[in-house]
Amino acid sequence: MEKILVEVSARHIHLSRADMDVLFGEGSELHPIKYLSQPGQYASEEKVTLKGPKGTAGVRVLGPLRKETQVELSLTDARSLGVKAMIRESGVLDGTTGGLTVVGPKGEIALDRGVIAAKRHIHMTPADAEKFGVNNGDVVAVKVVTDGRSVVFADTVVRVSDSYSLAMHIDTDEANAAAISGTAEGEIVAF
Ligand SMILES: [Zn+2]
């Protein structure tokens, strides 16, 4: 079976147009510094500070702008900030909590929702899905073999779109659990 590239997402934020205006100024734009594996997605020059009840953390803004602001934390990040992060797929924010203040160079916003720990997932094209014998929304297990800390990641959601390219995304806690630094390779297995 073909191996899947496993990439690690550090904590980050996606911003809405309205929140971008408040944090960076009316009509401000993001400045891409690094394009990510998913077409059109990038890390920007722009950073903000998250303030929680127990601590603060700097995060990079990922572009492009989205319909709604979303903060993606590891559960360790959430604990040190003193907030709750529900495990959710990106963009599925109903019922999520906030509790963070986002501080930018031009202003700040108080979030009352949109703080999540991203549910681990695999992006794939329809052709990839056919090859792996899976469908959009399927939940699979992915085995990642590392030096002394191999892990099978169950509860991994398959997300299929023409606009994706094949890659699995995990957060820094998940990466640390498997001693992954940089990227790794995974394989869908029966679980
Ligand atoms: Zn992803």
**Residue-wise pLDDT tens for the chain (191 aa)?**
789 999 999 999 999 999 999 999 999 999 999 999 999 999 999 999 999 999 999 999 999 999 999 999 999 999 999 999 999 999 999 999 999 999 999 999 999 999 999 999 999 999 999 999 999 999 999 999 999 999 999 999 999 999 999 999 999 999 999 999 899 999 999 98
CATH topology of domain 120-190: Barwin-like endoglucanases (2.40.40)
Strands 70-72 and 115-118: parallel
Residue 122 CA to ligand 1 center (angstroms) comes to 7
Numbered ranges of CATH 2.40.40.20 in the chain = 120-190
175 CA distance to ligand 1 centroid (A)?
A: 14
Strand 101-103 relative to strand 32-35, pairing: unpaired
Res 81: pLDDT: 98
CA–centroid distance, 9 to ligand 1, in Å, is: 8
- Contact between 117 and 78 (Cβ < 8 Å): yes
Buried b (16+ CB within 10 A) or exposed e, 146-176: beeeebbbeebebbbeeebebbbbbbbbbbe
Handedness of CA 18, 92, 78, 191 (dihedral sign): negative
> In angstroms, what is the span from residue 23 Cα to ligand 1's centroid?
25
Structure token digits, residue 33: 């510094």
pTM: 0.95
- Tell how far the Cα of 190 is from the centroid of ligand 1, in angstroms: 22
Q: Could you tell me the distance, in angstroms and rounded to a whole number, from the CA of residue 169 to the centre of ligand 1?
A: 5
Alpha carbon of 153 to ligand 1 centroid (Å): 15
β-bridge mates for residue 144, sequence order = 151, 186
Pairing of strands 121-124, 151-160: parallel
CB neighbour burial string for 41-74, b if at least 16 within 10 angstroms, e if fewer: bbbbebebebbbeeeebebbbbbebbeebbbbbb
Q: How far apart are CA 44 and CA 35, in angstroms?
A: 9
* Gap from CA of 163 to ligand 1 centroid (Å): 12
d(CA 182, CA 184): 7
29 CA to centre of ligand 1 in angstroms? 22
State how far the alpha carbon of 126 is from the alpha carbons of 28, 89, 161, 185, 189, in Å: 36, 19, 6, 20, 19
Q: Tell me, what's the pLDDT at 1?
A: 75
The pLDDT of residue 17 is 98
CA of 186 from ligand 1 middle (Å) equals 15
Q: How far apart are CA 182 and CA 7, in angstroms?
A: 7
